[in-house]
């Protein structure tokens, strides 16, 4: 707790009263449970309602983090991690302006963190909601199960439990946010990477689709897997542990044993020869349609975008340099791509080395192409879609505009110590002002201030100069089909 922080006003929710901390005109209410701890008899089950408590609950600190191992190697340095012990992992955190809200309440933004559905927590310093609250937003972040606890595909257990947690957290926001001065009819949900995938999935679930008034998807994979494909990592864990891929068998081993097994399986993998990861599964009860198809029918304003050089977070300069023309050819054959695709990307990236061409193709297939297809399919006047590309180049480790580099700009946190490992010591504050300000404007009005995506394929570029232009590398992207 900061030395100058004081107790915030007590707020009464439907399950009980909470008191947080307040400093510099911002009140924070952290670690508020929206569901019971998902362990013991509740392990591998849907999130369960929190019973009412007596007295005033202390909400001055983040709740425990979901079971996970930190990133290793370079990624561990770039992304960092936080570990808070305990079982009460299904919590929300609220930042709000101190003082009475306007009569109709303040706009609300709800953040879902990234981490490949395997890592991440709202307690990371980079997800501090202070800048949003400073600008009149009630900001909420939601913790959920990750990894084997949240995304195993088990006989006898519901699918997509981490998504079910996110849905329960969003329903909590709709139900309780008025007590924090928020307007439940103006809720913008947003997330990055796996968090963006959760945002897309929440828009495609019947129980949550009607809650948000707008959404932002930052570098989020939009295609959910078949249950059989999503179960690959579960089957690998079961084989490693010598158990059946059932709820009872997985519940009989500890979260630590599952994490250790996952680490053993992943040992020695690289970005281009990785073991299967966790994925959302299409499922009639929890995700009836893959978002890459379902988003076209979602009738709210949507921002969707990617970073120019997503792949550079996962591939070091040395690994990129090691990709020869022969390896590029073999990868093209393995991905069943026409030779014209590589030619189109070489034309769009003059002078690029084979590793850069391959990295761009792979990440465009995963992230950028699905986002553009969704934008092109959303043509109804009630479904305005706005596309961006984050292009500012970080000087750290030749990351350039890699995956996750935009987050500090969105949160207006480019001058914080936690941001420096990813973006360096002298990032442009003007770009943070522009990007953060755009997100706030969108939450207030549903309009980010640049043209909606249409036949002219206009995209907003966030770089040293913020500008609107025609879709960059459009011909290369079109070559993917």
pLDDT digits (tens, 9 = 90+) for 443-458: 999 999 999 999 999 9
**403 among known catalytic residues:** yes
Task: Encode burial over 362-381: b for 16+ CB neighbours within 10 A, e otherwise.
Answer: bbbbbbbbbbbbbbeebeee
Q: Report the range of poorest mean pLDDT among 83-97, 267-281, 314-328.
A: 267-281
Sheet bearing 302-307, strands edge to edge:
6-7, 21-23, 26-33, 91-97, 138-142, 106-112, 182-192, 214-218, 302-307, 385-390, 458-462, 467-470
- Please give the pLDDT value at position 119: 98
Catalytic residue among 113, 144, 292, 403: 403
Q: Nearest 5 degrees, angle CA 259-CA 262-CA 264?
A: 110
**Strand-by-strand arrangement of the 11-13 sheet:** 11-13, 16-19, 56-58
- Between CA 154 and CA 161 the distance in angstroms is 11
pTM, to two decimals: 0.98
- Whether 363 shows a pLDDT value over 90: the answer reads yes
Per-domain residue ranges of the chain: 1-180+205-213+220-300, 307-481
Of the chain, the percentage scoring pLDDT greater than 90 comes to 96
- Does this chain's domain 1-180+205-213+220-300 share its CATH topology with 307-481? yes
Q: Is the pLDDT confidence value at 475 over 70?
A: yes
More confident residue, 268 or 172: 172
Taking only Cα atoms into account, the Rg of the chain, rounded to an integer number of angstroms, comes to 22
- Residue 269, pLDDT above cutoff 90: no
| Residue 87, pLDDT score | 98
Q: What is the CA 368 to chain-centroid distance, rounded?
A: 15
Percent of the chain with pLDDT over 70: 98
Q: Do the Cβ atoms of 141 and 251 come closer than 8 Å?
A: no
**Could you count the other beta carbons within 10 Å of the beta carbon of residue 306?**
28
Is residue 415 pLDDT above 60, yes or no? yes
Per-residue b/e over 180-193, b at no fewer than 16 CB within 10 Å?
Answer: bbbbeebbbbbbbb
List pLDDT tens digits, range 278-292. Answer: 999 999 999 999 999
CATH of 307-481, one of 3.40.50.300, 3.40.50.1820, 3.30.1390.20, 3.40.50.2300: 3.40.50.1820
Helix-strand-coil split of the chain, %, nearest 5: 35, 20, 45
The burial class, CB within 10 Å (0-12 / 13-18 / 19+), for 393 is: middle
pLDDT of amino acid 272: 60
The token duo for 464 is 């040293």
User: What's the rounded mean pLDDT across residues 177-198?
Assistant: 98
pLDDT band for 379, please (50, 70, 90 cuts): confident
Helix (H, G, I), strand (E, B) or coil at 429: helix
Query: Is 436 known to be catalytic?
Result: no
76-95 pLDDT, tens digit each: 999 999 999 999 999 999 99
Q: Which of the residues 8, 60, 193, 383 is marked catalytic?
A: 193
Whether 1 shows a pLDDT value over 60: the answer reads no
pLDDT band for position 273 (50/70/90)? low
Q: What is the pLDDT of residue 4?
A: 78
Nearest to 404 by CA among 73, 113, 109: 113
pLDDT given at position 275: 79
Question: Catalytic residue at 292?
Answer: no
pLDDT value, residue 3: 65
Q: Please give the mean pLDDT across all residues of the chain.
A: 97
Q: Which CATH class is domain 1-180+205-213+220-300?
A: alpha beta
Residue of 149, 176, 192, 310 with catalytic role: 310
CA-to-CA distance for 463 and 400, rounded, in angstroms?
11
What is the rounded distance in angstroms from the CA atom of residue 349 to the CA atom of residue 415? 32
Look at residue 235 in the predicted model and tell me its pLDDT: 98
d(Cα 297, Cα 96) in Å, to the nearest integer?
32
Confidence of residue 213 (pLDDT cuts 50, 70, 90): very high
User: CA–CA distance from 414 to each of 285, 360, 434 (Å)?
Assistant: 40, 26, 12
């Amino acid at each position: 707790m900061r030395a100058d922080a004081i107790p915030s006003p007590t707020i009464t929710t439907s399950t009980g009263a909470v008191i947080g901390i307040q400093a510099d005109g911002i009140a924070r209410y952290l670690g508020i449970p929206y569901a019971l701890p998902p362990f013991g008899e509740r392990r591998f089950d849907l999130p369960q309602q929190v019973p009412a408590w007596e007295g005033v609950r202390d909400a001055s600190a983040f709740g425990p983090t979901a079971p996970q191992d930190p990133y290793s190697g370079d990624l561990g340095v770039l992304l960092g991690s936080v570990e808070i012990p305990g079982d009460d992992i299904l919590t929300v955190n609220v930042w709000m302006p101190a003082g009475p809200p306007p009569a109709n309440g303040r706009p609300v933004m709800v953040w879902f963190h990234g981490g490949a559905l395997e890592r991440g927590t709202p307690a990371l310093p980079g997800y501090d909601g202070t800048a949003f609250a400073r600008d009149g937003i009630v900001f909420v972040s939601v913790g959920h199960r990750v990894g084997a606890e949240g995304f195993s595909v088990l006989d006898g257990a519901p699918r997509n439990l981490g998504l079910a947690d996110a849905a329960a957290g969003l329903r909590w926001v709709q139900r309780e946010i008025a007590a924090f001065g928020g307007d439940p009819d103006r809720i913008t949900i947003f997330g990055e990477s796996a968090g963006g995938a959760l945002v897309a999935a929440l828009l495609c679930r019947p129980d949550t689709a009607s809650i948000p008034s707008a959404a932002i998807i930052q570098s989020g994979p939009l295609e959910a897997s078949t249950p059989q494909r999503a179960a690959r990592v579960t089957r690998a864990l079961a084989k490693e542990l010598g158990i059946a891929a059932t709820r009872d068998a997985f519940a009989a081993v500890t979260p630590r044993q599952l994490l250790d097994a996952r680490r053993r399986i992943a040992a020695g993998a690289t970005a281009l020869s990785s073991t299967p990861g966790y994925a959302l599964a299409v499922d009639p009860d929890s995700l009836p349609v893959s978002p890459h198809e379902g988003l076209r029918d979602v009738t709210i304003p949507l921002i969707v975008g990617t970073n120019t050089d997503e792949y550079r977070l996962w591939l070091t300069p040395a690994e990129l340099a090691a990709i020869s023309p022969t390896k590029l050819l073999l990868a093209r054959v393995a991905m069943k791509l026409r030779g014209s695709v590589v030619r189109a990307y070489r034309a769009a990236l003059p002078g690029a080395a084979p590793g850069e061409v391959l990295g761009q193709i792979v990440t465009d297939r995963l992230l950028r192409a699905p986002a553009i297809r969704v934008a092109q399919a959303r043509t109804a006047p009630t479904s305005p879609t706005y596309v961006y590309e984050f292009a500012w180049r970080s000087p750290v480790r030749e990351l350039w505009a890699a995956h996750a580099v935009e987050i500090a700009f969105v949160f207006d946190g480019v001058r914080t110590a936690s941001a420096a490992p990813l973006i360096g010591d002298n990032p442009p504050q003007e770009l943070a002002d522009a990007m953060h300000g755009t997100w706030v404007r969108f939450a207030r009005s549903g309009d980010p201030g640049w043209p909606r995506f249409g036949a002219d394929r206009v995209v907003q570029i966030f770089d040293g100069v913020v500008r609107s232009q025609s879709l960059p590398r459009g011909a290369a992207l079109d070559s993917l089909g």
